[in-house]
């Protein structure tokens, strides 16, 4: 049969996001896959070199549309480490609650993308609706639905409004009540199982070798989570589990996401219970007169797709000398995806890509 | 697979067909945004000072300051207001958190429906100043919602001082406590340390409103930035560009800059005065010439005479000397400094601080001839003949009397004369009960000085201070009033003197009448009294501190005749040049009454003299 070059995206129904994969196929079989990013490149890392430490804070979140919160966190942590800024205890707990809410919201978004891709439109709509309930919480806390611009160096931007923790609990309970329905029509649905079982399979060794993090790595049986490995915010103050699976295929990756969502909700309840009183913000210097001493810092957090790192360098000026993000989608969407697609079927391209939760804007910074 | 389920189990989802839909039928069913919603901007034009900090912080350059002709610019306020380009705005709200006045907020509006893309720019106002575009809830329609069709009372993300990006509190200045200081003339304010000065300097937002009100147009923002960067040499260079008396101004300047500082609206202004003092206190006199590059000055071979070694005279002399002129200052008192030395008490301006500034001015080659009275020892005509130009700043050195019955008694004194005597080390016969009349800084100075002398002689302070003005409109600086009270001065504002009771040549008391108003509707001085309501203060010594007057006795009749006047003042141009082209004036006799105005008139006159000599000589 003749070998054909096929463009999967950016204008392709099966593609989610501004991303493209060039496939060399023979019949249904993929011989070679080449990831082709760059459709969403906005030069964030360069832009950051031209903005002051404070002006960068509303920008970093825009790198990842789906889950801006971990971007804010990683930037705040890097600046705090460079400048030696202490964060109040309560702010650390609030940050954890906020980041876990973001994880739930982001996973629901991922669930929408995945179920939509597989044709489970009902679940997709439920997931989107439930994500909106989480966005309502964000709106009340921060004033923004998508870009929250909330975690800033020194703490958080405003304290919880009155009665906010009750609202979180109420919202999460209302979402939690639907978990059996989700299970019945999606996670435990034989159609879903057949469609994902054994697809895009990688071994633990491969995942480790190719830079897999997050669900990609945890679905191969390795319990690796930055929240445990190098705890930040208030994650060392509460107890929680890291869900893992052994098979390393698309099915186990999605099941890890499901278990993580449930674990995150339990974690939020524990954090709310232990939330201390006090200040939530230690004032940082005047933004027009804020220079950070020469130095560099690398910090990392566990975003909803895995390890997210920021390497930030200061040359002693009022702006970063260099900022570089290590995003999970970078290794998942470029290295691993190319390897896993090799030998698989055309109809599984979107399936595999979204099971690894590749978010294109994270690759193009 | 975790749990075996039937292939039919997804049919359970059918039950949702019979439930109420969760989706809103937008725009017929609206969703109320959260209380903190970050939507379109609101700006209170009355509160906004046009400082432009919002434009500076905006990461997207979405804010531009626009000049508004209808708004009158005044001290501490520009006639500019922010215009927002909503094509660029990312609704982060940094502009709200940096706004020092709290005028900028975000509303819960977020719609903009319009055919014209040019409408994306908006000069933001709020319902207070823009009644036309802000509509009450019942008149508002979401179908017309735009930047010009908005709902009133719909405030969202608001400023909160606790989370503001500026620091509203100034670094506390350490001072000698009142109990300790009232017994001596040691300097009250101790000055900043390196850390304190750096921290205080870091509060400055660099909006330059202060520079616009400084009479000497000092480069305040530049020197504060240099202090923050610990570059004292750079700071001194910035200061000396426009002010050759920083050690003095760093202590006793009337600091219009601090009144204009935007941080003062919700918090405390930057301590600009103390920062200036920090710079000069921490650089030794021996380094000045090197740092300011004044070691070698090329002479232009012209000579200028300056009459009066007060701030005006010193400033003119310094700047003329830098331009290469030979300058001689004639001073009638034994030491230079004028009112700075003989009017301001030592605890506010120690003589060493004044001497440091004067020593530097002398070191660049300015000659000062003390104990030389122009008009007596040498005439103005002689100066005119021997020099290329003459600058006169003789100041307001004569006290004014209330003229009430009894004020001719020898125990009624003029504050300004007493202050001069204290500096000259002459004995003053203080009594144990003194009444001071006047509500300005001189009244505070004399009260506190006499209090210190009483403390030394009697071990207790008994000073009664009374003035026409009520406390809120007293012309003295609020800190001075506060400090006088701390030191035990009894304050009775709102009373005017009626008569001094004298028995057998000795003063017994002074009778005061209630002052109903000080100024008339036009703002002219025209006090009115209620003669029914009276109060009597006991005292054996009365001091009048109700203002000073100039002494023009050095002007000979022929010069007086040739001079042109505007009202009671000499007619001058922008450089202080009188109708006699060789004669320039400055200091209090031109504009005042403070150091910084005197320095400015001096600096301007120096430029004027340079121009005059270059063109006409």
pLDDT digits (tens, 9 = 90+) for B274-320: 999 999 999 888 888 888 888 888 888 899 999 999 999 999 999 99
B1–chain A nearest CA distance, Å: 7
What is the pLDDT, as a whole number, of residue B328? 93
Across B112-121, average pLDDT: 84
Residues 218-237 (B) with a CB less than 8 A from some CB of A: 225, 228
Nearest to B57 among A141, A142, A287 (CB): A287
Residue B4 pLDDT level (bands cut at 50, 70, 90): low
Q: Does B17 touch chain A (CB under 8 A)?
A: no
Residue B7 pLDDT level (bands cut at 50, 70, 90): confident
What is the pLDDT, as a whole number, of residue B223? 93
> What DSSP element (H or E) covers B498?
strand B495-503
Alpha carbon distance, N-terminus to C-terminus of chain B: 105
Across B178-195, average pLDDT: 85
What is the pLDDT, as a whole number, of residue B530? 86
What is the pLDDT, as a whole number, of residue B313? 93
Q: Does B156 touch chain A (CB under 8 A)?
A: yes
Put simply, the answer to whether A143 touches B34 (Cβ < 8 Å) is yes
What is the pLDDT, as a whole number, of residue B278? 93
For residue A183, what are the contacts with CB-CB under 8 A and spacing of at least 6? B3, B5
In whole angstroms, give the CA distance from residue A161 to residue A180.
Answer: 32
Put simply, the answer to whether B165 touches A54 (Cβ < 8 Å) is yes
What does DSSP assign to residue B287? H
B84–chain A nearest CA distance, Å: 17
pLDDT at B370 over 80: yes
Dihedral over alpha carbons A354, A357, A358, A361 (to 10 degrees) = 120
What is the pLDDT, as a whole number, of residue A13? 79
Q: What is this structure's pTM?
A: 0.88
Residue of A nearest to B202 (CA): A289
Dihedral over alpha carbons B379, B383, B386, B390 (to 10 degrees) = -170
Phi, psi of A179 (to 5 degrees): -55, -45
B contacts of A144 (beta carbons < 8 Å): 37-38, 91
What does the block give as tokens for B472?
A: 């809120």
Nearest to A143 among B2, B157, B167 (CB): B157
Count of beta carbons in the 10 Å neighbourhood of residue B433 = 18
In whole angstroms, give the CA distance from residue A168 to residue A272.
Answer: 9
Put simply, the answer to whether A184 touches B5 (Cβ < 8 Å) is yes
B contacts of A249 (beta carbons < 8 Å): none
CB B393 within 8 A of CB B588: yes
What is the pLDDT, as a whole number, of residue A52? 94
A120–chain B nearest CA distance, Å: 10
What is the pLDDT, as a whole number, of residue B398? 84
What is the pLDDT, as a whole number, of residue A295? 94
Q: Which residues of chain A have pLDDT under 70?
A: none
In CATH, which superfamily holds the domain spanning A41-364? Cytochrome-c3 Hydrogenase, chain B (1.10.645.10)
Strand locations in chain A, DSSP E?
3-8, 21-26, 29-35, 151-152, 155-156, 295-303, 306-314, 322-326
Residue of B nearest to A198 (CA): B1
Across B438-451, average pLDDT: 91
Average pLDDT, chain B: 89
Across B9-28, average pLDDT: 85
What is the pLDDT, as a whole number, of residue B566? 83
Q: In this prediction, what percent of chain B has a pLDDT beyond 90?
A: 46
């Amino acid at each position: 049969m003749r070998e054909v070059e096929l463009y999967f995206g950016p204008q392709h129904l099966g593609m989610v996001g501004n991303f493209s994969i060039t496939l060399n196929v023979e019949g249904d079989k993929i011989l070679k896959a080449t990831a082709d990013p760059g459709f969403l490149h906005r030069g964030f890392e360069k832009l950051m070199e031209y903005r002051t430490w404070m002006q960068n804070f509303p920008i970093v979140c825009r790198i990842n549309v789906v889950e801006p919160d971990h971007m804010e966190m990683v930037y705040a942590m890097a600046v705090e480490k460079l400048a030696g800024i202490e964060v109040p205890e309560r702010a650390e707990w609030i940050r954890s609650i906020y980041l876990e809410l973001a994880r739930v919201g982001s996973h629901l978004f991922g669930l929408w993308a995945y179920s939509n891709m597989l044709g489970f439109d009902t679940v997709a709509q439920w997931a989107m609706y439930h994500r909106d309930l989480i966005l309502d919480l964000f709106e009340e806390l921060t004033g923004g639905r998508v870009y929250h611009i909330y975690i800033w160096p020194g703490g958080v931007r405003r304290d919880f409004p009155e009665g906010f923790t009750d609202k979180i609990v109420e919202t999460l309970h209302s979402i939690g009540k639907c978990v059996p329905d989700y299970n019945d029509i999606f996670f435990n649905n034989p159609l879903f199982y057949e469609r994902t079982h054994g697809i895009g399979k990688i071994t633990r060794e491969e995942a480790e070798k190719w830079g897999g993090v997050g669900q990609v790595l945890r679905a191969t049986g390795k319990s690796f989570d930055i929240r445990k490995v190098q705890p930040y915010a208030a994650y060392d103050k509460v107890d929680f589990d890291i869900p893992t699976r052994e098979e390393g295929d698309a099915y186990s990756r999605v099941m890890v996401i499901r278990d993580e969502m449930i674990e995150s909700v339990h974690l939020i309840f524990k954090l709310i219970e232990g939330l201390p009183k006090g200040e939530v913000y230690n004032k940082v210097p005047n933004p027009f007169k804020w220079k950070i001493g020469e130095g560099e810092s690398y910090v990392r957090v566990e975003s909803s797709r895995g390890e997210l790192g920021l390497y930030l360098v200061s040359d002693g000026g009022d702006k970063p000398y260099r900022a570089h993000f290590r995003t999970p989608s970078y290794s998942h969407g470029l290295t691993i995806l190319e390897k896993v697609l090799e030998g698989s079927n055309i109809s599984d391209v979107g399936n595999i890509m979204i099971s690894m939760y590749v978010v294109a804007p994270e690759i193009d910074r | 697979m975790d749990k075996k389920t039937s292939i039919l189990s997804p049919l359970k989802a059918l039950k949702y067909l019979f439930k109420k839909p969760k989706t809103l039928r937008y725009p017929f069913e609206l969703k109320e945004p959260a209380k903190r919603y970050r939507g379109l901007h609101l700006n209170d034009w009355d509160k906004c000072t046009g400082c432009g900090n919002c434009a500076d912080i905006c990461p997207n350059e979405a804010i531009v300051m626009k000049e508004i002709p209808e708004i009158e610019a005044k001290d501490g306020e520009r006639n500019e207001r922010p215009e927002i380009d909503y094509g660029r705005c990312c609704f982060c709200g940094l502009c709200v958190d940096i706004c020092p006045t709290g005028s900028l907020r975000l509303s819960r509006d977020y719609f903009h429906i319009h055919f014209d893309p040019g409408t994306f720019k908006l000069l933001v106002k709020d319902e207070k100043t823009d009644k036309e575009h802000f509509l009450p809830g019942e008149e508002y329609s979401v179908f017309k919602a735009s930047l010009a069709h908005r709902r009133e009372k719909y405030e969202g993300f608001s400023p909160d001082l606790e989370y503001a990006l500026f620091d509203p509190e100034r670094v506390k200045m350490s001072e000698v406590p009142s109990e300790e200081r009232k017994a001596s003339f040691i300097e009250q304010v101790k000055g900043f340390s390196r850390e304190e000065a750096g921290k205080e300097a870091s509060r400055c937002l660099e909006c330059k409103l202060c520079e616009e009100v400084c009479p000497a147009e000092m480069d305040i923002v530049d020197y504060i930035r240099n202090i923050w960067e610990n570059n004292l040499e750079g700071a001194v260079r910035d200061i000396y560009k426009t002010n050759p008396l920083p050690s003095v101004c760093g202590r006793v300047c009337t600091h219009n800059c601090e009144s204009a500082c935007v941080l003062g609206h919700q918090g405390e202004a930057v301590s600009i005065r103390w920062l200036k003092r920090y710079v000069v206190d921490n650089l030794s006199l021996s380094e000045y010439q090197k740092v300011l590059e004044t070691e070698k000055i090329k002479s232009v071979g012209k000579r200028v005479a300056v009459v009066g070694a007060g701030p005006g005279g010193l400033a003119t002399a310094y700047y003329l000397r830098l331009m290469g002129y030979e300058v001689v200052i004639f001073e009638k008192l034994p030491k230079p400094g004028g009112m700075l030395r003989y009017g301001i008490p030592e605890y506010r301006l120690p003589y060493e601080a004044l001497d440091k500034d004067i020593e530097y001015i002398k070191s660049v080659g300015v000659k000062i001839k003390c104990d030389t009275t122009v008009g007596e020892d040498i005439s103005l005509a002689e100066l005119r003949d021997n020099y290329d130009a003459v600058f006169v700043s003789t100041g307001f050195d004569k006290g004014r009397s209330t003229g009430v019955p009894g004020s001719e008694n020898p125990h009624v004194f003029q504050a300004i004369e007493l202050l001069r005597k204290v500096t000259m080390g002459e004995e003053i016969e203080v009594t144990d009960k003194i009444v001071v009349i006047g509500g300005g800084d001189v009244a505070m100075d004399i009260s506190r000085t006499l209090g210190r002398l009483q403390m030394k002689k009697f071990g207790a302070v008994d000073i009664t201070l009374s003035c026409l003005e009520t406390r809120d409109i007293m012309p003295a600086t609020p800190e001075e009033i506060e400090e006088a009270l701390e030191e035990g001065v009894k304050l009775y504002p709102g009373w005017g003197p009626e008569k001094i009771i004298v028995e057998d040549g000795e003063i017994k008391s002074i009778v005061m009448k209630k002052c109903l108003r000080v100024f008339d509707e036009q703002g002219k001085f025209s006090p009115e009294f209620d003669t029914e309501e009276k109060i009597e203060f006991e005292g054996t010594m009365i001091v009048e501190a109700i203002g000073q007057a100039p002494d023009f006795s050095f002007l000979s009749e022929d010069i007086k005749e040739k001079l042109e006047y505007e009202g009671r003042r000499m007619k001058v141009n922008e450089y202080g040049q009188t109708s006699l082209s060789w004669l320039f004036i400055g200091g209090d006799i031109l504009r005042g009454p403070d150091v910084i105005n005197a320095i400015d008139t001096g600096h301007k006159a120096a430029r004027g003299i340079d121009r005059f000599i270059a063109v006409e000589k």
